[in-house]
Amino acid sequence: MSNEKDIFDLIIHPDRFKILRILKSRPMTPSNLRKNFTNLSRASFYRQLKQLEDAQLIEICKKEQKRGTIENTFRISDNFVKNSSYLLEKISKEEYIKIFSIFLIELLSDLETFIDEIEYKSELNSILFEREKINISEANRDEFINEYHKLVSKYSSDKEIDSKTITTIILPKQSSNII
């Protein structure tokens, strides 16, 4: 990997951030991954993918012969997973806020796309956003997250049903001024 600043600059680009976020959930081929980037040209998409691969943030985990060519499947690299905590410790609060802002902008973009595509206002009722406070010790936090991922995985395996998006943000402390 390059130095931390170079890696941070790669990660904060909205398209590369989205690629990393998608590959975090499961390995994908470029053609399947590209379906999530309707506003990005083919050349630009492959350039973003190549930059992530060159920086060893993603890696090929499978090669398969398809229609006379080799199709690669990418995943988040083990190297990136091992170093992600280290990288987060090295970035400033402003850089961390920038990464989080990209995440929120992407979430808002997904919401806007959904709203633009619905036919009836009654479909807006299918959107649920709520905020829950849970009391959990730091010792039980990892267990909670693992159980949460198992639950999400259980409901992510049925490809016959339209997918839903669940966004989770875990804040370690709740501000006293939040109701």
What's the rounded mean pLDDT across residues 138-147? 85
Q: Assign 29 to helix, strand or coil.
A: coil
What's the rounded mean pLDDT across residues 127-138? 84
In this structure, which amino acid lies at residue 41? S
Stretch (H or E) spanning 18: helix 14-25
> What pLDDT, on the 0 to 100 scale, is given for residue 44?
95
In this structure, which amino acid lies at residue 153? S
**10 Å Cβ neighbour count for 57?**
23
> What pLDDT, on the 0 to 100 scale, is given for residue 1?
46
Domain 4-115 has CATH 1.20.1260.10: no
Q: Are strands 69-76 and 58-66 parallel, antiparallel or unpaired?
A: antiparallel
